[in-house]
Amino acid sequence: MNKKVPLGLTFSLIFISVALAVTVTMAVSMLTYNNLIKDVSDRSGMYSGLSEIDDAIRENYYGEINENLLNSMISKGYIDGLGDRYSAYMNAEEYVQYKQLEKGTKGGIGIIPVYDAKSGGIYISEIADSSPAKIQGMNKGDIITEIDGTKVTALNAAGLIQNLEGGKLTEVTVTFVHNKEEKTVKVAKGYTAQTVYYSIMNENVGYIKIVSFYKNTAEELKKAINFMSEKSVSSVIFDVRGNSDGLVPYATACIDLIVPVATEGTGALATAIDKNGNTIETFTSDSESISLSLCVLVNSDTSGASELFACDLRDFGKATLIGTTTAGNGTMQKIFELSDGGAVKLTVAKILPYKSESYDGKGLKCDYEVALSAEQNERLPMLSLEEDAQYQKAFSIITNS
């Protein structure tokens, strides 16, 4: 039997519901309003302070004001004020160079140069295939003694190295020593950047060094893996020590070449979580994988995309990590283009790897902690394999020797 509800009680319940709804709505509105007022107040204070500085400069500064430079440095200072070393402002020229680099196009002669205190020259630690430097007869291990007629010293080496980079479609004159013979050549600048270097260490072990993760890295890595397959190697040592360049999407494209479908953990090679805890992007894998014994060499300069690479290979049970704790950059950056042709690279999310917890701010701990001396770390690109204790440990593990 249905019971009738008194009319007065019905009106009372309706009144209470409406009052409750209004109260909640007002509370949310006040919270939003207060946050908005606080934001407006903060911004007003910032603009007021900047306006005072601008007034003081324009009324009293003795020199000429370069408006373009001033505006550029204001933008740079704004991003620097975030205190995030992974976010950056780029002016129009810098952004053009960044886009070229991201695609794998790089200004320079095609080498990875390192000052060598022992020889007093610039050591060529790596050289890209088909690069201008390679075409002019330069090789890995050569020592550059002069650049554009200026002798290399400890004091000017950093500045002279900059002459070897950038400036596409220009030339640089380089004097170098190859097999104890000194040569001087003119080298054009501008080439397709090589990000993956590889070789066979013996009949069973391959070595793949990845120096950055750009758009062309996955294609280069696939070429290296196919080469290892053709040579029937059973083990590969990956080296991402010192690798701090590149973006998460390009790293996951490389990981995908090595591991199978992600079915455990997060269910993805990487998951990007924003500051509100929302998933803004996931990176998945396919069924293609390789069946090789793997080790990954890492150190404190292994950062960002390369940390994800190392972490995921271990999470999938594919690799052992050897070296020292990594940098701890577990974030993802995105590019936001500006109307003046420049751009801002901003940290937008934290990255969760396949199974492990976030390594952001902590770094990856190695399965085998092997430290190099301070001098060895400084000379890492120039160390022979016999001197490289981290490589030697990987080799012994991977060969069970």
User: Each residue's pLDDT tens digit in the chain (401 positions)?
Assistant: 444 445 454 444 445 454 444 444 444 444 444 444 446 556 666 677 788 888 888 889 998 999 888 888 888 998 999 999 999 999 998 898 888 888 877 778 989 899 998 899 999 999 988 889 999 999 999 999 999 999 999 999 999 998 888 665 588 999 999 999 999 999 988 777 789 999 998 878 999 999 999 999 999 999 999 999 999 999 999 999 999 999 999 999 999 999 999 999 999 999 999 999 999 999 999 988 999 999 999 999 999 999 999 999 999 999 999 999 999 999 999 999 999 999 999 999 999 999 999 999 999 999 999 999 998 988 898 888 889 999 999 999 998 86
Cα gap 327→209, rounded to integer Å: 18
Q: Which helix (H) or strand (E) holds 123?
A: strand 121-127
What pLDDT score does 168 carry? Answer: 53
What pLDDT score does 373 carry? Answer: 93
Contact 305, 331 (CB under 8 A): no
What pLDDT score does 107 carry? Answer: 74
Q: How far is CA 354 from CA 206, 236, 359, in A?
A: 26, 22, 12
What pLDDT score does 19 carry? Answer: 46
Q: Which helix (H) or strand (E) holds 146?
A: strand 143-147
What pLDDT score does 327 carry? Answer: 97
What pLDDT score does 202 carry? Answer: 83
Which sign does the torsion angle of CA 7, 10, 14, 19 carry?
positive
Amino acid residing at 198 = Y
* Nearest CA-CA partner of 74 in 349, 335, 342, 332: 342
What pLDDT score does 36 carry? Answer: 41
